[in-house]
Amino acid sequence: MSVRAIASATGLSRGTVGNEVSNLGHVATEVTGTDGKTYAPSRPAPQTDGSLLAGDD
């Protein structure tokens, strides 16, 4: 379900829903919009290789 659809269904703002979804750590490979069509996520998952961790000097 898209962030926009979740926000509409719950009465929360899109920003709040987006923040909560990003905190889950799960990255969707496709999103189903309110029109029933499936789409690729609008933002690709961040790539981390562990080399940019804080405190690693």
41, 29 Cβ separation under 8 angstroms: yes
Question: In terms of C-beta distances under 8 Å and separation of at least 24 residues, what long-range contacts does 37-40 make, across chains too?
Answer: 39/2
Global pTM exceeds 0.85: no
Helix (H, G, I), strand (E, B) or coil at 50: coil
Taking the C-alpha atoms of residue 40 and residue 51, their distance in angstroms, rounded to an integer, is: 28
Is the predicted pLDDT of residue 5 greater than 70, yes or no?
Answer: yes
pLDDT band at 52; cut points 50, 70, 90: low
Confidence (pLDDT) at 50: 57
